């Protein structure tokens, strides 16, 4: 296990270098001048040249790239062009909000999806399965940018149950978490149903029932546990996307997370902040996939690493 961990950590180095290089290249190819955006259309050419020199944007791209990669190694992601704040500090300030929203959304998805998927698999082909599958299909079909405003209009504006935007109390968390977690619950429910249904057809489940195991034990202890690997795999990928990619939901509800920071930075042509946010997304995906790989051996003893 330790050898696997070290090997995977070494393999992440070229991945992160490639991501950093790609991000730097794409960000600088985006049309628009950040200096012009900061100073406004009425700024004089002399003011624009002075600020560009101060920010180091007049240097050759290779020099800027070298400074960017050196900063990553030393933990310095540069200074935000929009707020004049270190990017690492800005991201660190936004991370707790993003973690909070991601964990709440995954909790909503898990609490809804796992029981729904198991019930659908146990009652495959019955009206219960049809209802569960229909609910999952509806959930997959509802995009965040439609579900979020709908919940805000219905539960906040019309009924006044929850605040529309901001962060601070549990009530502020409910609508963003449900908006983000509902489509994830639909995906997990469909996958749980398919995975559990496949395991229920195996002979070891029938053998467990023949030995006197209750139906609940045969389903939960035998079938469900052995069906966890594909579920955990998708769960990890969804968690990575939620943790760093809740851009639409954070924007709708003015949630002060990394996703909203990324949107604001893109709009302001804030190169350092955009690069820092996307680099965080890459690191998160790599870390989540590493954890999922290590969990395989814990969930299923049949999995062995060479």
**Secondary structure of 99-138 in HEC code, one letter for each residue:** HHHHHHHHHHHHHHHHHHHHHHHHCCCCHHHHHHHHHHHH
Tens-place pLDDT, residues 51-89: 777 767 777 778 878 887 888 888 777 778 777 888 888
- Of residues 237, 225, 179, the one with CA closest to residue 200: 225
Tokens 């794409």, residue located: 26
CA distances from 302 to 205, 221, 226, 298 (A): 17, 16, 10, 10
* pTM for this prediction: 0.75
- The mean predicted confidence, pLDDT, of the chain is 78
Contact 299, 63 (CB under 8 A): no
- Distance between CA atoms of residues 198 and 187, nearest Å: 17
Q: Write down all domains in the chain, each with its CATH number in brackets.
A: 17-74 (no CATH), 93-299 (1.10.3720.10)
The residues with which 86 forms a beta bridge, in sequence order, are 79
Q: Which residues of 114-125 are buried (b: 16+ CB within 10 A; e: fewer)?
A: bebbbbbbbebe
* Tens place of pLDDT per residue across the chain (306 aa): 567 667 777 877 788 788 888 877 877 776 666 666 666 667 777 777 777 777 677 777 788 788 878 888 887 777 787 778 888 888 888 888 888 888 888 888 888 888 888 888 888 778 887 888 888 777 777 777 778 888 888 888 888 888 887 787 888 888 888 888 888 888 888 888 888 887 777 777 777 777 777 777 777 776 777 777 777 777 777 777 776 657 778 888 888 888 888 888 877 777 788 888 888 877 787 777 777 777 766 666 555 544
The residues with which 79 forms a beta bridge, in sequence order, are 86
């Amino acid at each position: 296990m330790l050898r696997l961990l070290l090997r995977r950590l070494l393999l992440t180095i070229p991945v992160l270098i490639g991501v950093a290089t790609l991000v730097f290249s794409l960000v600088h190819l985006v049309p628009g001048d950040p200096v012009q955006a900061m100073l406004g259309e009425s700024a004089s050419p002399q003011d624009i040249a002075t600020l560009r020199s101060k920010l180091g944007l007049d240097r050759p791209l290779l020099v800027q790239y070298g400074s960017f990669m050196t900063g990553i190694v030393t933990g310095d992601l540069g200074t935000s062009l929009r707020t004049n704040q270190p990017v690492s500090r800005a991201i660190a300030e936004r991370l707790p909000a993003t973690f909070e929203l991601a964990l709440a959304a995954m909790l909503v998805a898990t609490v809804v999806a796992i029981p729904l998927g198991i019930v659908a698999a146990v009652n495959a082909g019955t009206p219960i399965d049809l209802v569960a599958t229909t609910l999952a299909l509806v959930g997959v079909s509802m995009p965040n940018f439609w579900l979020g405003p709908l919940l805000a209009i219905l539960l906040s504006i019309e009924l006044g149950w929850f605040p529309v935007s901001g962060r601070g109390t549990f009530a502020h968390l409910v609508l963003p978490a449900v908006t983000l977690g509902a489509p994830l619950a639909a995906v997990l429910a469909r996958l749980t149903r398919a995975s559990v249904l496949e395991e229920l057809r195996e002979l070891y489940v029938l053998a467990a029932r023949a030995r006197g195991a209750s139906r609940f034990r045969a389903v939960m202890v035998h079938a469900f546990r052995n069906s966890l690997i594909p579920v955990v795999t998708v769960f990890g990928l969804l968690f990575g996307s939620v943790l760093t990619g809740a851009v639409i939901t954070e924007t709708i509800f003015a949630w002060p997370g990394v996703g909203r920071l990324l949107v604001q930075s893109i709009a302001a042509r804030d190169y350092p902040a955009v690069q820092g946010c996307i680099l965080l997304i890459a690191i998160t995906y790599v870390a989540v996939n590493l954890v999922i790989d290590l969990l395989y051996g814990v969930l299923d003893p049949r999995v062995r690493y060479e």
